[in-house]
Structure 1
Amino acid sequence: MVGNSTFSVIGADVVITGNISAKVDLHIDGRVEGDISCASLVQGESSAIHGAVVAETARLAGTVTGSIDARELVITASARVTGDISYETITIEQGGHVDGQCRHKSNAGHAAASALGNGTSGEDRPALLIAN
């Protein structure tokens, strides 16, 4: 990273063994054997990630083996994901492959359950609350 750059690139010829934690956006064309935590992730088609991914936004085009936690997630047609996914918004292009469970992150359900205001533990609250 040079100066005030807010974007880092891991080239196609680079293999990283270990976890990556960055406050900047990452573009990965190489191979990562470890977990990734960053602001925004863009993965190239020839890239491979073997580990968990945590990012505000992620655009995946290569292979990911591991869990993904992203607020906004795009899985392109060339992507192959094996692992569980947690997201707020998701786009899976035709041809994109996901082998794992997808879970929507929603605070609305927790807020609605808290609005019941009965002062008891979460175990007594309904798992699903439907409001008109």
Structure 2
Amino acid sequence: MASNSFSVLGPDLKVTGNISASEDLHIDGSVDGDINCASLVQGEASAITGAIQADSARLAGTVEGSITAKTLVILKTAKITGDVFYDTLTIEQGATVEGKFAQRAHGSAHAESSDDGEPKLSLAN
């Protein structure tokens, strides 16, 4: 993981189908399909319809589908419809989320290292 490789889907791109990236992915366009990557950054004008699975995700656009991430940041411009599974979660004031929140299964390394087994939730201004 020493490389700093990343892929970008520009604002003019619309992808229909699943996306899998072994490293980092930045999406400014729209995706109709599931996304699986190491790190996801979503731009404000981006729209994703499908499940997201990533080690870390920073979401600023529209997501319709479930999200599973070790580290998840939901920015104030985000509008999410779907269930959210996380190890650590930050939500900026003003973000819209419709769905259930749940800490990821205790089988993950991060969940086992938690002090009291409680989900970690923080609110950012």
What TM-score do the two structures reach when normalised by structure 2? 0.82
Shift of 1:70: 0.2
Shift of 1:5: 5.9
Structure 1 moving runs of 4+ over 6 Å = none
Report what 1:98 is aligned to. 97
Shift of 1:24: 1.2
Report what 2:27 is aligned to. 28
Aligned length: 108
Report what 1:68 is aligned to. 67
- The structure carrying a bigger helix percent of its residues is 1
Shift of 1:6: 1.1
Q: What are structure 2's unaligned runs of at least 5 residues?
A: 118-125
Q: Which has the higher contact order (CA 8 A, sep 6+)?
A: 2
Report what 1:49 is aligned to. 48
- The structure carrying a bigger strand percent of its residues is 2
Q: What are structure 1's unaligned runs of at least 5 residues?
A: 112-128
The structure that has the greater radius of gyration is 1
> How far apart are the structure 2 equivalents of 1:92 and 1:66?
17
Report what 1:38 is aligned to. 37
Shift of 1:31: 0.2
> How far apart are the structure 1 equivalents of 2:83 and 2:4?
32
Shift of 1:47: 0.1
Shift of 1:72: 0.2
**Deviations for 1:79-132, whole angstroms, at most 9, x for unmatched residues?**
000000000000000001110000012528x97xxxxxxxxxxxxxxxxx9xxx
> What is the alpha-carbon root mean square deviation over aligned residues?
1.9
Report what 1:19 is aligned to. 18
